[in-house]
Amino acid sequence: MSTIEKADRIKNLPPYLFAKIDQMKEKMKQKGMDLIDLGVGDPDLPTPPPIITALQDAAKDPKNHRYPSYSGMIEFREAVSQWYQQRFQVTLDPRSEVISLIGSKEGIAHIPLAYINPQDCVLIPEPGYPVYSTATLFAGGHPYFMPLLKEKNFLPDFSAIPEEILRKAKLMYLNYPNNPTAAVADQSFFAEAVTLAREYQFVLCHDAAYTEIFFDGYQPGSILEIPGAKEVAIEFHSLSKTYNMTGWRIGFAVGNPEAIAALGQVKTNIDSGVAQAIQVAGMQALLGDQTFLDEMRTTYQERRDVLIVGLKEAGFEVTVPKATFYLWIKTPAGFTAEECTAHLLTNAGIVTTPGNGFGTSGEGFIRMALTVNKERSAEAVERIRKLDF
């Protein structure tokens, strides 16, 4: 039987970055290499016990064995509203301004289906989370990449976007604190983005997955704190990184009611919502004791400091991040991002992510995730010191 040809949207898709890294890791494992994995941003810390207990109890209740609401249980959406009020002093209507997601990735990937016609323009930060561009391509849209450069503190330069592109734009993705650069944005930047979106009438999609991982007295804000933001903005958050629930697949989107309804319309035709027992556990996460977060941040900060000190002593140029659990590290002279990644993996067993995998502006950088314990982080530094760069 002849092979049936795949759709162009699949054939033209670049390989998903982390799948490629997994293949490299597997090859080194087969050679017996002891790997220290600083590649994918998957927390190694466990989900807090009260959240697990809430899931266990909810799973026993037969009412949670049936199809959930597409938009999410009203109790979960009320919990999200309460959390936003406490954390950001942002008031949300749980019925019209909150929707549950099967992880924020799902919502980020589906929002273009609600707005993008073939050849419509989507403004995308680059380097950036690969899903922004692949979701745009799946919807038939045209990505316009906004470079994130060190000299601009890894913030997009809105003044460099041509007028004709702004007029064509239907969506803009932003992500602060940022993956992969670990950069942060202040409220004046968000205000500029909101003003631009209101002027050119596009939907501002803010990926806020890392707002709860911060250090040194810094605390990230929400784009919805900006006056008028709800007219144009939708913000995506996830319980994955905040509560170490990456495998649970639960997140939410909040903000502009029309955008929330449009995303909900897509979801009703694609999925059947988040399992109710997981939503009950999510309510416990959002409304339960939050002291766990301070302990988590302390753990990540200790790892950050071990790696930063060691990397600088080894001659690497790296900025101390105020948020996220990533380090964005300049590659040594004479090494491309992929060459540096391969050198670290094959000669030291250290898994990192090449910056150009997040976009061409990421060339010259690698990303490390703070997802191994302090002792293994120290060992990684010792291995790096022995390498020839």
pLDDT in tens, 238-263: 999 999 999 999 999 999 999 999 99
Across 24-33, 174-183, 213-222, least confident range: 24-33
Domain-located, residue 65: yes
- In order, the DSSP letters of 133-147 are HHHHHHTT-EEEEEE
- In sequence order, the β-bridge partners of residue 369 are 326
| Residues 145 and 231 placed together within one structural domain of the fold | yes
* pLDDT greater than 90 at residue 25: no
- Between vectors from CA 125 to CA 124 and to CA 127, what angle results, nearest 5°? 125
DSSP assignment, residue 255? E
User: Of 287, 308, 332, which one is at a domain's C-terminal end?
Assistant: 287
The count of structural domains within the chain is: 2
Q: Are residues 112 and 31 in the same domain?
A: no
Average pLDDT score over residue span 148-163: 98
Residue 3 included in any domain: no
Q: Are residues 348 and 282 in the same domain?
A: no
CA angle, 251 as apex, 250 and 255 as ends, to 5°?
A: 155
221/340 same-domain check:
no
Q: Residue 249 sits in a domain of what CATH number?
A: 3.40.640.10
Place of tokens 């087969």: 30
Tell me if 311 is assigned to some domain. yes
Question: Of 287, 311, 340, which residue is a domain's last?
Answer: 287
Q: pTM of the predicted model, to two decimals?
A: 0.96
Give pLDDT tens digits for 259-283: 999 999 999 999 999 999 999 999 9
Average pLDDT of the residues of the chain: 95
The continuous run of DSSP H or E covering 203 comes out as strand 203-207
What is the residue range of 165's domain? 49-287
Helix axes 291-313, 374-385, angle to 10 degrees: 10
* pLDDT (tens digit per residue) in 353-389: 999 999 999 999 999 999 999 999 999 999 999 998 8
Residues 136 and 109 in one domain: yes
Distance between alpha carbon 83 and the CA centroid of its chain, in Å?
19
Q: How far apart are CA 82 and CA 198, in angstroms?
A: 27
Domain final residue, candidates 264, 287, 310: 287
Judge if 326 and 240 occupy the same domain: no
Q: How many CA atoms lie within 13 A of 377 on its CB side?
A: 23
Model confidence band, residue 20 (pLDDT cutoffs 50, 70, 90):
confident
